[in-house]
Amino acid sequence: MPELRPHPYAHRPPRRPLRLPFRRTPPPERAAPPSLRWLLYIGVALTAVLVALAVPYLVSYLLTALGS
């Protein structure tokens, strides 16, 4: 049976493949992220509509629960 002892782990950083050419020019500028402001406005509007539709039902349920 083999002897049980911890394996000496040594991390080695990744090596660059030799076939890749070195970059001579800087990388291109990244495009700005898209604006999500319209999605925020639409979400707030949909939430307002949902609340406006749900409030009368909740009030009616509360009135029937208190009346019985």
Determine, yes or no, domain membership for 3: no
Provide the domain limits for residue 53. 36-68
pLDDT at 58: 94
Residue 43's pLDDT is what? Answer: 97
Task: Name residue 2's amino acid.
Answer: P
For residue 20, the model assigns a pLDDT of: 87
3-state secondary structure the chain: CCCCCCCCCCCCCCCCCCCCCCCCCCCCCCCCCCCCHHHHHHHHHHHHHHHHHHHHHHHHHHHHHHHC
Q: What pLDDT, on a 0 to 100 scale, did the predictor assign at position 6?
A: 79
Say whether pTM exceeds 0.85: no
* Structural domain includes residue 55: yes
Q: Which residue has the tokens 């909740």?
A: 58
- pLDDT confidence of residue 50: 97
Is 63 inside a domain boundary?
yes
Which residue from 33, 31, 50 is spatially nearest to 42, judged by alpha carbons?
A: 50
Instruction: Average pLDDT across each block of 10 residues of the chain; the chain has 68 residues. List them in order.
Output: 77 88 89 94 98 95 87
Domain-embedded: residue 64: yes
Please give the tally of structural domains in the chain.
1
Whether residue 47 is contained in a domain is answered as: yes
Residue 4 within a domain: no
**What is residue 6's DSSP assignment?**
-
Residue 52 lies in a domain: yes
